[in-house]
């Protein structure tokens, strides 16, 4: 009797256990069942945190609490002010140096505060957050690189506040750019054993170049700045070849990040008379500031000589391109001589059309200036009654074209790339470090 009752209890226990298991088991899934956990059960990281980088490497000079000294240019672009009055307020300390030509004013300001006034002056504050963060790191790195020596030793100023270095305090601090500076606080780019020359520009034509575009540039010392396609194309093209580059710049290429930007492609007409005016305005001044940027033909050689005029311009011809397709050397022939113009800035000056019209990629018209928009262009002769009267120029991009394209960075940011990935895209094999 006892064993029988024990068996009954055991069976009852098994039944109850089975019933309990059935209760806790999930039911069969139906077609309408959501396989994703409810929103409240999901771990969702804020987008801004997806690309947060905390560099392990430390760079000790100039230190996280460094101050940069900025020479404030006068309204005429010179260093001398008529008096001590400035139209804008400045953080930090203003120092005044009285000279016979006028007052020299230097602003000594903490580096991070300086950046809060550089980033919105160099990139629209409405740009995507990751692009603004990339710009902040570029601006900080460029400043640190410049702080190794003084651009104005007499006043111990590292930089001035213009496009010659970085535009500073032309636009007030903005919330979005302040946040970008704070989010990347102290972060700079390094290559091998030092900070990089973090050059940047507005818009690419779909290609960038190296720093050989400048007279003192040496791409072997800055291999992190190199020619690259700014898009998804992996096709290899030798854009230093005139025919290949001509085909490239006359078309729009699917996959180029900036294909919809106004300055991605542009065209303008430059008459010979305007080129002659440019030579008379700029050639002598640029020759005095350069060792080999403006050279005069002397037999079979080109030499550095004082240039007053080469007479009425008869022709212009591109003779060499740098990596990425940017024009590197051009010949200007006049009735009284021939000039060899080297480096993108000098070339853009000689073909500038102040007051002229430039047809942009989006169909709008822009006003020309002393500088051609970029050095990425080809020239097509325009003739009247068989006589050469000027050139139709087909070009692309805005700015010098070396380093980071700011609009390219914006597009990458809008596609979900983090600022560190954007920087890696434009600067080869760099690494992030932090000032301490």
Q: Which helix (H) or strand (E) holds 342?
A: strand 337-342
Q: What is the pLDDT of residues 132-164, one digit of tens each?
A: 999 999 999 999 999 999 999 999 999 999 999
Report how far Cα 342 is from the mean position of its chain's Cα atoms: 22
Q: What is the pLDDT of residues 360-417, one digit of tens each?
A: 999 999 999 999 999 999 999 999 999 999 999 999 999 999 999 999 999 999 999 9
Separation CA 89–CA 72 (nearest Å) = 12
Separation CA 363–CA 42 (nearest Å) = 47
For residues 290 and 3, the model is more confident at 290
* Model pTM score: 0.85
Q: Is 258 helix (H, G, I), strand (E, B) or coil?
A: coil
Q: What is the pLDDT of residues 177-236, one digit of tens each?
A: 999 999 999 999 999 999 999 999 999 999 999 999 999 899 999 999 999 999 998 888
Q: Let me know: does 188 contact 419? Beta carbons within 8 Å.
A: no
What's the pLDDT score for residue 5? 43
The beta-strand segments (E) located in 1-79 are 58-59, 67-72
Separation CA 237–CA 242 (nearest Å) = 11
- Ranking 31-40, 56-65, 99-108, 421-430 by mean pLDDT, the lowest is 31-40
Query: How many CB atoms are located within 10 Å of the residue 295 CB?
Result: 21
Q: Which among 220, 248, 252, 224 is positioned nearest to 236, based on CA atoms? A: 248
């Amino acid at each position: 009797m006892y064993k029988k009752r024990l068996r009954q209890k055991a069976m009852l226990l098994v039944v109850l256990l089975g019933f309990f298991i059935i209760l806790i088991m999930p039911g069969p899934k139906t077609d309408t069942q959501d396989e994703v956990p409810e929103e409240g059960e999901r771990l969702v990281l804020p987008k801004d945190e997806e690309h947060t980088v905390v560099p392990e490497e430390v760079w000790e000079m100039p230190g996280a609490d460094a101050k940069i000294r900025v020479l404030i240019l006068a309204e005429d672009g010179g260093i001398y002010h008529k008096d001590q009055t400035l139209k804008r307020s400045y953080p930090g300390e203003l120092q005044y140096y009285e000279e016979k030509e006028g007052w020299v004013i230097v602003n000594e300001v903490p580096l991070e505060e300086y950046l809060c006034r550089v980033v919105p002056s160099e990139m629209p504050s409405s740009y995507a957050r990751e692009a603004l963060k990339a710009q902040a790191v570029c601006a900080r790195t460029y400043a640190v690189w410049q702080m190794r020596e003084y651009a104005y030793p007499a006043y111990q100023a590292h930089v001035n506040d213009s496009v010659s270095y970085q535009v500073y305090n032309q636009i007030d601090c903005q919330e979005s750019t302040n946040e970008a500076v704070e989010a990347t606080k102290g972060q700079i780019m390094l290559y091998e054993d030092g900070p990089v020359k973090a050059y940047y520009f507005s818009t690419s034509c779909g290609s960038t170049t190296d720093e050989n575009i400048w007279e003192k540039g040496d791409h072997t010392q800055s291999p992190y700045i190199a020619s690259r396609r700014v898009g998804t194309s992996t096709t290899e093209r030798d854009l230093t070849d005139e025919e290949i580059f001509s085909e490239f710049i006359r078309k729009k290429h699917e996959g180029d990040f900036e294909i919809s930007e106004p300055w991605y492609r542009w065209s303008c007409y430059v008459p010979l008379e305007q080129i002659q005016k440019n030579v008379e305005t700029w050639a002598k001044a640029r020759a005095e500031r350069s060792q080999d940027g403006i050279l005069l033909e002397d037999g079979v050689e080109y030499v550095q000589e004082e240039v007053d005029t080469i007479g009425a311009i008869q022709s212009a011809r591109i003779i060499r391109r740098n990596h990425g397709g940017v024009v590197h050397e051009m010949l200007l022939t006049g009735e009284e001589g021939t000039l060899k113009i080297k480096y993108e800035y000098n070339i853009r000056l000689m073909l500038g059309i102040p007051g002229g019209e430039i047809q942009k990629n989006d169909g709008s018209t822009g006003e020309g200036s002393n500088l051609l928009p970029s050095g990425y262009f080809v020239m097509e002769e325009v003739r009247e009654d068989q006589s050469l009267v000027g050139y139709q120029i087909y070009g692309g991009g805005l700015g010098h074209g070396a380093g980071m394209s700011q609009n390219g960075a914006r597009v990458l940011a809008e596609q979900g790339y983090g600022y560190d990935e954007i920087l890696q895209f434009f600067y080869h094999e760099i690494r992030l470090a932090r000032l301490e």
